[in-house]
């Protein structure tokens, strides 16, 4: 959670600038596999959601979703598609068996803000998964809702995810 704090003078008039105080958002946990479910919480960039459909896991699992800090994203190249990381993302992991992966895709909803992403960048956003075996960011088929400031993608792999912007190099390849 983030709070904006403003100083008030004796007349109750707010100072022109405020300071933002970050407060840790605790990792969110969810037991899944026994039923369908959604992990949803308010992260520092807006509402985060992970939809887990029935049959995604063969048994009951406990998943933890965390919001990594900007420095927690590996400095790695993209896997063939020119991308630039934004420093906004989520991490998904199973607590009881980290090697287990979903049998069918789960849906990720990752928010962004105007502070993180400019208006000109919004249509160029995708989610990418960090492949730690190949030390590369792998682009996922993604959609962006610029009105809700949400990037949506499906994945069948639990990992670290980051919003990425197509670079100008990719834009020239499209034309």
Q: Is the pLDDT of residue 31 over 50?
A: no
d(CA 25, CA 35): 26
More confident residue, 57 or 96: 57
Q: By three-state DSSP, how is residue 160 classified? A: strand
Average pLDDT of the residues in 36-40 = 79
Compute the mean pLDDT over every residue in the chain, rounded to the nearest whole number. Answer: 78
Q: Which two structure tokens, joined as six digits, stand for 141? A: 């088929």
Q: Tokens at residue 166, please?
A: 């197509």
Predicted confidence at residue 17, as pLDDT, reads 54
The helix/strand/coil state of 171 is helix
User: Which has the higher per-residue pLDDT, 15 or 23?
Assistant: 15
Q: Of the ranges 28-32, 57-61, 79-83, which one carries the lowest mean pLDDT score?
A: 28-32
Sign of CA dihedral 60, 93, 165, 83: negative
């Amino acid at each position: 959670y983030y709070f904006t704090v403003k100083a008030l003078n004796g007349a109750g008039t707010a100072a022109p600038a405020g300071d933002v105080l970050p407060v840790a958002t605790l990792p969110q946990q969810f037991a899944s596999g026994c039923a369908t479910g959604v992990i949803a919480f308010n992260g520092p960039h807006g509402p985060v959601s992970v939809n887990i459909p029935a049959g995604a896991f063969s048994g009951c699992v406990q998943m933890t979703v965390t919001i990594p800090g900007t420095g927690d994203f590996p400095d790695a190249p993209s896997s063939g598609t020119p991308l630039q990381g934004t420093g906004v993302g989520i991490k998904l992991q199973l607590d009881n068996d980290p090697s287990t992966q979903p049998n069918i895709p789960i849906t990720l909803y990752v928010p962004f803000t105007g502070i993180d992403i400019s208006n000109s960048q919004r249509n160029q956003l995708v989610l990418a998964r960090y492949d730690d075996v190949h030390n590369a960011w792998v682009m996922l088929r993604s959609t962006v809702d610029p009105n809700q400031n949400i990037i949506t993608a499906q994945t069948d792999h639990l990992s670290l995810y980051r919003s990425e912007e197509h670079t100008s190099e990719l834009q020239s390849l499209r034309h």
